[in-house]
Amino acid sequence: MKYSDIDVAVIGSGPAGMAAAIKAKEEGAVRVLILERQEQLGGLLHQCVHNGFGLFYFGQDLTGPEYGHRFAEKVRDSGIEALLETMVTRISADRQINAMNNREGPLNLRPKSIVLAMGCRERSRGQLNVPGTRPAGVFTAGTAQRLVNVEGFVPGKRVVILGSGDIGMIMARRLTLEGAEVKAVVEILPYVGGLTRNEVQCLHDFRIPLLLEHTVTQIHGEQRVEAVTIAKVGKDKKPINGTEQVIECDTLLLSVGLIPENELSLMAGVELDPLTGGPVVDHWRETTIPGIFAGGNVVHVHDLVDNVSWEAEIAGAWAAKFAQKGRLEKERKIMLKPGRNIRYVVPQAISTQNDVTLYARVKDMEQDVQLKVGNIFMQKLRVVKPGEMLKLDLSQSQMSQLNVNTSELIVECGAPRVKPKVPY
């Protein structure tokens, strides 16, 4: 069979999938196969025509397609195989993959190891339960991004954006540049959901009104969106009666969060972390099923693409090793648990075998905090925000201080320092 002796199969070819495949090849995997549902490699990078990609990975400010192109060339040059326009429909716990495309029909393959790199998807109106009618003109920000940047359409002229995730803010700027009027970006929290740099460069620089602590309470219009009602929210995030105002618009974009895309992982029986929505992984990005690895936004939603690629490289490298050895020997496992003001930590398990980078997100914005991993790591930070990922490098020597019996470490954001009272 054509695909009978694949070493590493990578599902998805976005910034995670391509990075994982390249790394797997570098680490000695002979046959690496990418399965991609779109017509070309790159995943969502094609529609991200804005800049800000690769600042850390390449030390250059690239656009999404440029960033993708660099990886795609490397994929081609290193002899990685790719099946495009191919949808993976099922993965089983014994690493059987069912896929389908319009050239070969249903495909079955059983690679020696798998890297999950399916990325994430956007929360929809239904999940948010935005009340009101069901007219045309309600899109997720990512769908609108594809429509504008790939398909060549501007969905509407007068736009309200609910949520201030990065794609939402980027689309606020993009639509303004396209000649549409972005009437408001409405955010339920007291701060934006995405990166500060996007708040400044996409909203403030274009004088787009940002309404914090507000939400959309009703969508109006039978056929096409005609208006939305927005209202201020209280501390409980519920709309306050009497603060409602109607904004006329023809389009409502939603940028209200991303969810790791793990339908295939669930089919395989991979354990998911309810805090991240992605698989529980260890420091090698191996999931709870041996031989199935995961990296990038499928594990947890990153803020920077550079981290997506780096994380996926870990998965790719160890998937290659697994393919060669058949199993991975692991030393003692230490579980990481989120503590005070920490929403989640990835990886969920580490070992003292090598240096490890931890990714964490906080629950609420705080100032002057101290990050701690058990009592072996500490870092002072002036400000932490849910929209910005924390990255902590834990070295092997730091971990060597650990008591041999330690099986669990708490990652926490220490309480803000109380300012000493000024004496009379």
Partner 1 sequence: MLQIETEVLIIGGGVLGAVVARELSRYKVDVILVEKEADFGWGSTKTNMCIVCQGADTLEFRPEYHRSKLVWDSMPLMEPLCQELDVPFKKVGELALIRNNEELAKFQKLKSRAEKIGITGHQFIDQDTLRQMEPHVTRQATGALYDPNIAIVDPVRLTIGLVENAVQNGVKVMRETEVLRISQEANQFEVETNRGSVKCRFIVNAAGTSAEKIARLVNSDDFVLYPIRGYVGILDKNLGGLIKHEIHMRPDAPGQMNILTPSIHGNLFFGTTMQPARRGDYSTTRRIVEIGFQNVRKIVPDFSEKDIIHSFAGFLMFRNWEVGWHECVVQASRKVPRFISICIGYPGVSAAPATAREVTELLRREGLRLETNESFSPSRKAPPILNELPEEQQKELIAKDHCYGHVVCRCETVTEGEIVEAVRRGATTLDGIKFRTRAGMGRCQGGFCTPRVVKILARELGLPEEKITKKGRESRLLLHKSKELIEAQT
Interface residues with partner 1 (CB under 8 A) are 37, 85, 87, 89, 100-106, 121-122, 124-127, 129, 131-137, 139-140, 142-143, 146-148, 150-157, 178-180, 217-219, 223-224, 239, 250-251, 263, 266
- Amino acid making up residue 44: L
Compute the least distance from the CB of residue 310 to partner 1, in Å: 26
Tell me which DSSP letter residue 64 carries. H
Closer of 179 and 423 to partner 1 (Cβ): 179
Closer of 118 and 360 to partner 1 (Cβ): 118
Compute the least distance from the CB of residue 66 to partner 1, in Å: 20
Compute the least distance from the CB of residue 157 to partner 1, in Å: 6
Residue 84 phi, psi dihedral angles, 5° rounding = -90, 165
Q: From CA 243, how far away is CA 231, in angstroms rounded?
A: 5
Closer of 147 and 335 to partner 1 (Cβ): 147
CB atoms within 10 A of CB 166: 25
Closer of 183 and 285 to partner 1 (Cβ): 183
User: 302, 216, 217: which is closest to 253 by C-alpha?
Assistant: 216
Compute the least distance from the CB of residue 84 to partner 1, in Å: 11
- Beta-ladder partners of 294: 116
Compute the least distance from the CB of residue 260 to partner 1, in Å: 13
Q: From CA 398, how far away is CA 335, in angstroms rounded?
A: 16
Tell me which DSSP letter residue 46 carries. G
Q: From CA 250, how far away is CA 138, in angstroms rounded?
A: 9
Tokens at 297, concatenated:
């936004």
Closer of 49 and 410 to partner 1 (Cβ): 49
Compute the least distance from the CB of residue 383 to partner 1, in Å: 29
Closer of 140 and 164 to partner 1 (Cβ): 140
Closer of 223 and 400 to partner 1 (Cβ): 223
Coil, helix or strand for 349? strand
Compute the least distance from the CB of residue 395 to partner 1, in Å: 37
Q: How far apart are the first and last CA of the chain?
A: 85
In the block, tokens 């004496």 appear at 423
Coil, helix or strand for 86? coil
Tokens at 383, concatenated:
């400000």
Closer of 74 and 121 to partner 1 (Cβ): 121
Between CA 20 and CA 305, with CA 76 as vertex, the angle to 5 degrees is 40
- Cβ-based burial of 344 (10 A; exposed 0-12, middle 13-18, buried ≥19): buried
Between CA 114 and CA 215, with CA 361 as vertex, the angle to 5 degrees is 110
Closer of 262 and 348 to partner 1 (Cβ): 262
Q: From CA 343, how far away is CA 412, in angstroms rounded?
A: 9
Per DSSP, the residues of 8-25 read EEEE--SHHHHHHHHHHH
Helix (H) or strand (E) holding 115: strand 113-116
Compute the least distance from the CB of residue 80 to partner 1, in Å: 23
Compute the least distance from the CB of residue 149 to partner 1, in Å: 9
Q: From CA 290, how far away is CA 327, in angstroms rounded?
A: 7
Tokens at 323, concatenated:
């393919």
Compute the least distance from the CB of residue 369 to partner 1, in Å: 28
Closer of 135 and 414 to partner 1 (Cβ): 135
Compute the least distance from the CB of residue 47 to partner 1, in Å: 10
Closer of 37 and 321 to partner 1 (Cβ): 37
Per DSSP bridges, beta strands 390-394 and 356-362 are antiparallel
